A and B are shown apart, each in its own frame.
Chain A
């Protein structure tokens, strides 16, 4: 029970940090923000790895393996596309000729 209470504290604090950090993300980058958080969220793969690797039951191994596939595709695809998008954001090459 104590562990779960600790976890609730962690969840609440992380929620506040998320709020403050993400509020500052420029609206310019809202699409990359979503693809990046998506990739980070795929950290759920750690739970799937433990399931697939610990031989507890055949059922758990199968579900765990499918879950690894789903999460890994998010990690790989999410980081790739986020970086591709961010590479495209450039400032004006030369300062504007002022009249």
Chain B
């Protein structure tokens, strides 16, 4: 078997593996990141090229059709708007998981009944993880695209029902490991995880999406690694392990940023939001201001920190915010952005949206860098963010978001909050920030409000 041909293929895989690791390594900084993409592309071409040389392949027709069709579907998926990147990502997790599940299924029917125990264990993992990731990701994409209701759907005993369904799938897997010849059981081992994937995402609301997408990313990677075990492909095991650990790290970061324990995340107990007891009834006063007043205060400041939330993206206000950034910077005012890890619908989403609006990335600060700066900041301008700025998370032990790390905008000298209406955040709780003496509420649509501030500031810039 170790002819010169297979050796060449193995070397192609070896180089591809090294390139994949380098690809992620270069992603550590924006300066080298594009080189990382190139490394990944070269590695991928090498791996596919090597595979096509394998002598087991006798018919190239279907391969060619698959590659062409995939490319035709892939190009528009690479061209979506930046606001739609979260649903695109969820959809690609679904595609990845679909590929893995289909290959696992085909491999089972080719090999049954002679499947060694260990192979059957990893094959079951491949199909179960792949199946639940496929439908789970489709559900997540549907919710993000607002094809499905964003509102979490919960009922009593949901976790127990879900876990019971998963347990049945695992039970079937154990039976198949013991008797891999029982072909009739296999369809159930595929179908039940497909059902579980749907049930897993049903109770999840829009604000929990960053954690969910990361978790699905991790599952997709692990299922691909399991496929690598089945096919004895080291390349696939490594790529799957890299993807799995990436998703895992991101889920941990996201769950920490939302103050949820990791077990809470693993068991899919998202979106279980208690409505605050304190919120009802109390109507505390707020100070509101007009665009003219806001412009005056901003124009007189030395330093401004803008805190954007998903509301800014919904209002499509990022380009107006860039104009505000430009006009303030031109006046010599130091403008930075404080970005909470869960601002947006997936990890890092807000950075991409602001980068798209041409805001230089050295002005985008993460939570750890932004928080020490607030006490020296003249104006903190909150746009479309709510719970991630709620000081109750720091002080009010009774608050449902108590303990969640927040951007401490209340430590700035003046706080301005652009908000569409008097509504509450996703956690359904009042934000004491709005009732502080130093806080000015700017009620209105984010895009037009920022636009009016820019208009005021550039009108007054001449003299």
Q: Once bound together, how far apart are the Cα atoms of A11 and B75, in whole Å?
A: 32
Q: How far is the CB of B30 from chain A (nearest CB, A)?
A: 4
Does B352 contact A88, Cβ atoms closer than 8 Å? yes
Interface residues of B in 202-231 (CB under 8 A from A): 213-214, 217, 220-221, 224-225, 227-229, 231
A59 to B424 CA separation, bound complex (whole angstroms)? 53
Q: Mark B39-77, 1 if CB is under 8 A from A, else 0.
A: 011011001100110101111101101110111011111
Please determine whether A26 and B29 come into contact, CB atoms closer than 8 angstroms: yes
Give which listed residue, A7, A15, A67, contacts B244 with CB less than 8 A. Answer: A15
The answer, yes or no, to whether B356 is at the interface (CB within 8 Å) is yes
Evaluate whether A69 and B69 lie within 8 angstroms (CB atoms) in the complex, with A44-B103, A53-B62 already known: yes
Residues on the A chain within 8 Å of B33, using CB:
29, 32, 86, 89
Most buried by B among A23, A60, A76, A84: A76
Indicate whether A28 sits within 8 Å of B30 (C-beta atoms), given known contacts A38-B243, A49-B57, A53-B58.
yes
Residues 90-109 of B, flagged 1 when their CB comes within 8 A of A and 0 if not, give 00110110111011011101
CA distance A77 to B95 in the complex (A): 11
Of B28, B66, B244, which one neighbours A18 at CB under 8 angstroms? B244
Hey, which chain A residues are within 8 Å of B76, CB to CB?
77
Range for the number of chain A residues in contact with chain B: 35 or more
Given contacts A42-B99, A49-B57, contact A28 B85 (CB under 8 A): no
B246 near A37 (CB under 8 angstroms)? yes
- Taking the closest CB of chain B, its distance from the CB of A41, in whole angstroms, is 4
- A25 CA / B26 CA spacing, docked (Å): 8
Given known pairs A34-B347, A76-B74, the reply for A43 and B88 (CB within 8 Å) is no
Task: Find chain A residues with CB under 8 A from B24 CB.
Answer: 18, 21-22, 25, 33, 36-37, 40
CA distance A29 to B339 in the complex (A): 13
CA distance A97 to B330 in the complex (A): 9
Identify the interface centre among A43, A57, A73, A82: most chain B CB within 10 Å of its CB: A43
B347 and A43: CB pair below 8 A? no
B46 to A: closest C-beta gap in Å: 11
Q: A14-B242, A53-B63 are in contact. Are A67 and B99 (CB under 8 A)?
A: yes
A46's partner among B47, B118, B243, B249 (CB-CB below 8 A) is B47
**CB pair B78 A7 closer than 8 Å:** no
Which of B41, B67, B235 gathers most chain A CB within 10 Å? B67
Tell me how far the C-beta of B364 lies from the nearest C-beta in chain A, rounded to whole angstroms: 6
A57 to B364 Cα, complex, angstroms: 54
> Within residues 341 to 367 of chain B, which ones have a CB less than 8 A from any CB in chain A?
341, 346-349, 351-352, 355-356, 358, 360-364, 366
Q: CA–CA, A26 to B30, complex, Å?
A: 8
Q: Provide the bound-state CA to CA distance between A59 and B62, in Å.
A: 13
Q: Which residue of A lies closest to B360 (CB)?
A: A92
Which residues on the A side are within 8 Å of B362 (C-beta)? 91-92
Residues 84-99 of A, flagged 1 when their CB comes within 8 A of B and 0 if not, give 1111111111001101
Taking CB atoms, residues of chain B closer than 8 Å to A41 are: 96, 220-221, 224, 239-240, 242-243
Q: Does B233 sit within 8 A of A, measured CB to CB?
A: yes
Q: Which residues 233-254 in B have Cβ within 8 Å of A in the complex?
A: 233-247, 249-250, 253
User: Distance in Å from the Cβ of B341 to the closest Cβ of chain A?
Assistant: 7
Chain B nearest CB from A19 CB (Å) reads: 5
Nearest residue, chain A, Cβ from B367: A27
Q: Does B293 contact A (CB under 8 A)?
A: no
Q: Which of B62, B227, B347 contacts A44 (CB 8 A)?
A: B227
Contact call A29/B27, Cβ cutoff below 8 A: yes
Task: Give min CB distance, A65 to chain B, whole Å.
Answer: 5
What is the bound-complex CA distance between A88 and B351, given in angstroms? 10
- 7 extra interface residue pairs, beta carbon distance < 8 Å, beyond A40-B44, A77-B92: A38-B220, A40-B24, A43-B235, A64-B106, A68-B70, A80-B77, A90-B355
The 8 closest A-B pairs by CB, nearest first: A72-B70, A80-B78, A68-B66, A76-B74, A30-B348, A77-B77, A18-B245, A53-B57
Query: Can you give 7 A-B contacts (C-beta < 8 A)?
Result: A19-B245, A50-B51, A63-B106, A70-B98, A70-B102, A73-B95, A77-B74
